[in-house]
Amino acid sequence: MDYKSQTCCFTGHRNIAPYTPDTVFEQTKAIVTLLVSKGFKYFGTGGALGFDTIAAQAVLSVKETHPEVKLILVLPCENQTKYWKQQDIDVYNDIRLRADKVKVLAVHYYNGCMQKRNRHLVDCSSACICFLTKHEGGTAYAVDYAKQNGLEIINVADRCS
């Protein structure tokens, strides 16, 4: 079975302003639902704050009506939440418990572990749902890498305007 052709990854900014989380969630959920209708089953996200969290919640929402959908968390390191607020950690832990698969790439943070996570997500996917509003940082890197590898790119931010 060709899992890659049925797999979509997510990448996006932590800060989704000026859009509301509800708007980004609804648009992401609509895109996930569309991809499910095209045969996608596996959705991988990096478990970070911001868009990654919204994306995971959208996948879990779609999964309620499409139980074949699988949420895969690809975490850069086990201690990713070390400096997070408790409220964010609680949301993260709930998502982690509800994920179908959790892959942790390193025990501790190191310089480059986020890029390794992004490359892993892209390398295992044939489509990328992103939230890209400025071409800088890890999100821009991941989207560029996805483009170089021939992935279909769908930018949620384009649908929020």
Residue 160: Cβ within 10 Å count: 17
CATH architecture assignment, domain 4-128? 3-Layer(aba) Sandwich (3.40)
pLDDT digits (tens, 9 = 90+) for 9-35: 999 999 999 999 999 999 999 999 999
Phi, psi of 159 (to 5 degrees): -95, -10
Strands, DSSP E only, in the chain?
Answer: 7-12, 42-45, 70-75, 101-104, 127-131, 152-155
Residue spans of the domains in the chain: they are 4-128
pLDDT digits (tens, 9 = 90+) for 77-125: 999 999 999 999 999 999 999 999 999 999 999 999 999 999 999 999 9
**What's the predicted TM-score (pTM) here?**
0.97
